[in-house]
Chain A
Amino acid sequence: DAGVIQSPRHEVTEMGQEVTLRCKPISGHNSLFWYRQTMMRGLELLIYFNNNVPIDDSGMPEDRFSAKMPNASFSTLKIQPSEPRDSAVYFCASSIGDNYGYTFGSGTRLTVV
């Protein structure tokens, strides 16, 4: 099992550019979560999907952020336009239904300059 796969591992972009982060959950897991980690705010839940349907997006900071899950094996988190304050590590995690055993990916470190 390859675990949760995120890409890219690192992204440096200029302010105003569009950024797309990608996640492949563990096969068979039907819940997917996007978290953001910063020194100031720690780990924050942005959005989660169950069976490819967004269930709670109350953590998405602004309309500049959007997430999709077109199928059970792929999700994207998009920031458009990006701003320096979006710089953080973004984690994707997956689990089986209500199982609390989240498996996290290695994260994408985003730097917006």
Chain B
Amino acid sequence: GQQLNQSPQSMFIQEGEDVSMNCTSSSIFNTWLWYKQDPGEGPVLLIALYKAGELTSNGRLTAQFGITRKDSFLNISASIPSDVGIYFCAGYNNNDMRFGAGTRLTVKP
């Protein structure tokens, strides 16, 4: 099946630092999405990308849909303690959503 490779697996950063994580796939996706999961909760959609090359921002979050449609990255600027959680990339084609393994982010105050 379609495999998403997400990196890094985990990050430990200081409050105020910027964060970058990315996702690559062997398959093409029509839509790339980024979710955040807090402990004990389900994933929550942060950003959705629909077009190759698209760059989208949501507050301190910026994500890009790769030109080849096989990759995406997520940047978080000026991290704050509540950014802690697991971030998942997801590729979507026709009611089929595949998730990366997640990036666990820890922010030290």
| Chain A interface (Cβ < 8 Å from any Cβ of B) | 4, 31, 33, 42-43, 45, 48, 50, 55-56, 91, 93, 98, 100-107
Main secondary structure, interface of A, reads strand
Please determine whether A105 and B95 come into contact, CB atoms closer than 8 angstroms.
no
Tell me the B73-109 residues at the A interface (CB within 8 Å).
Answer: 88, 92, 94-102
Q: A43-B88, A100-B48 are in contact. Are A106 and B96 (CB under 8 A)?
A: no
Please determine whether A102 and B45 come into contact, CB atoms closer than 8 angstroms.
yes
Please determine whether A42 and B42 come into contact, CB atoms closer than 8 angstroms.
no
- Selected from A31, A55, A98, A101, the residue in CB contact (under 8 A) with B48 is A101
Residue of B nearest to A10 (CB): B40
Size of the chain B interface, CB-CB below 8 angstroms: 20
| Chain B interface (Cβ < 8 Å from any Cβ of A) | 31, 33, 40-45, 48, 88, 92, 94-102
Report the minimal beta-carbon distance from A42 to chain B, rounded to whole angstroms: 5
Separation of A107 and B100 alpha carbons in the complex (Å): 18
Separation of A63 and B91 alpha carbons in the complex (Å): 28
Please determine whether B97 and A102 come into contact, CB atoms closer than 8 angstroms.
yes
Residue of A nearest to B32 (CB): A100
Separation of A63 and B79 alpha carbons in the complex (Å): 45
Separation of A93 and B97 alpha carbons in the complex (Å): 11
Which residues of the other chain, B, contact A43 by a CB distance below 8 angstroms?
Answer: 43, 88, 99
Separation of A7 and B100 alpha carbons in the complex (Å): 26
Please determine whether A42 and B99 come into contact, CB atoms closer than 8 angstroms.
yes
Which residues of the other chain, B, contact A101 by a CB distance below 8 angstroms?
Answer: 45, 48
Please determine whether B102 and A42 come into contact, CB atoms closer than 8 angstroms.
yes
Separation of A79 and B44 alpha carbons in the complex (Å): 26
Report the minimal beta-carbon distance from B104 to chain A, rounded to whole angstroms: 11
Report the minimal beta-carbon distance from B34 to chain A, rounded to whole angstroms: 12
